[in-house]
Structure 1
Amino acid sequence: MSEERSAFVPLNVAVLTVSDTRTEDTDRSGQALVESLATAGHRLADKRIVVDDVYRIRAVVAGWIADPAVQVVLATGGTGFTGRDSTPEAVSVLLDKTIEGFGELFRHLSWQEIGSSTIQSRCLGGLANATVVFCLPGSTGACRTAWDGILREQLDSRHTPCNYANLVIPGRGTHG
């Protein structure tokens, strides 16, 4: 492995909280993601809260996907089955490729914590315009499960045998 491949490369991460009720003061899930990415050495590119509306969600995520300074989008909320939950519908049409295993692995990890209730999670991962996008449930516990069990390693350019970080770093993967 080359010296360049073994060095940690911080990523620019945007965090979106999808909620009809959260504010910056009450957004525990978004804040947990911000703290986790900062602790891991990544940079916060932007953070927003948007109501659970398919077009508003899509507009924010599309803007970040189009922004070459944003390499990762982490969205929390709107992935359940209630009438207003629309994050997967908002984001899925923006993706060039879906990461099928992300939802499967998340639900496997979540099963150990919440049992069969994990079946209601419609979390989603994918790639769009050299940006990796992950849509997570709105609970702080679910965000921690996703970060600790999947995202921390997959956003670390040193993780082997493969990771998503190297797909969004200029000069590697999709940029290469």
Structure 2
Amino acid sequence: MSHVSVGALFTPLGIVVLTVSDTRGFDEDGSGDLLVKHLSESGHILVERRIVPDDIYQVRAVVSEWVARTDIHVILVNGGTGFTTRDTTPEALIPLFDKAIEGYGELFRHYSLKTIGTATIQSRAVAGVANKTLLFAMPGSPKACALAWDKIIALQLDSRTRPCNFAAMVLPSATPCSGRHTATSSNDGERL
């Protein structure tokens, strides 16, 4: 995490979108369309977009290829996070993580509880970091993608979000935070 200074500038990130589905093509991929629209409107750069079947090895192969590239900072994966036998996105991604971002899944389920009730426990939204690349997996519905982007991901990819965000961690020229700065406080007295 990076502790952000007042007046920090926005830095666009290179983002890819992967839709995991046995049935959707680009014409039917409302979730992928939504993520592309939102990331572009936020000022980030769409580097690539793909659709792969619900297959653990195909998902892992595409993500592994992207993690090795230096022009990709963030991978957004939608679909394959449920409990059917074909839902294997978490199993494909978790072995690739250098570190898991456990709070993402927790926060996603917290927000979705308000709209879908206890069915939120069936969401296996996961996130992690692999080779300085952020990976966020979310359910494949447009509403779930909008919730993940609007409530969590967009803020953490914005280099101006205070007190901390993930942008500095994935940018090659940035200096990540080396520790908490407790002497500095915001105008409202909150410790930063």
Give the number of aligned pairs. Answer: 173
- TM-score (structure 2 length as normaliser): 0.88
- SS of 2:47's equivalent? strand
In 1, Cα distance between the equivalents of 2:150 and 2:6?
A: 27
Q: CA deviation at 1:36?
A: 0.4
* Aligned-residue RMSD, C-alpha: 1.2
- 2:95 corresponds to which of 88, 93, 98: 93
Q: Percent identity?
A: 53
In 2, Cα distance between the equivalents of 1:150 and 1:139?
A: 16
- 1:7 corresponds to which of 1, 6, 9: 9
Q: CA deviation at 1:172?
A: 2.1
* Structure 2 unmatched ranges of 5 or more: 179-192
Letter in 1 for 2:100: T
- SS of 2:26's equivalent? coil
* 1:54 aligned onto 2:56: yes
Structure of higher CA gyration radius: 2
> Which structure exhibits the higher relative contact order, with contacts defined as CA atoms closer than 8 Å and separated by 6 or more residues?
2
**Corresponding residue for residue 184 of structure 2:** none
* Structure 1 unmatched ranges of 5 or more: none
Q: CA deviation at 1:161?
A: 0.6
Q: CA deviation at 1:170?
A: 1.3
- 1:18 corresponds to which of 10, 17, 20: 20
- TM-score (structure 1 length as normaliser): 0.96
Q: CA deviation at 1:12?
A: 0.3
In 2, Cα distance between the equivalents of 1:119 and 1:2?
A: 38
**Corresponding residue for residue 112 of structure 1:** 114
In the TM superposition, what whole-angstrom CA distance separates every residue of 1:1-39 from its partner, at most 9, and x where no partner exists?
275xx1000000000000000000000001100000000
Query: Which stretches of structure 1, 4 residues or longer, exceed 6 Å deviation after superposition?
Result: none
In 1, Cα distance between the equivalents of 2:39 and 2:142?
A: 14
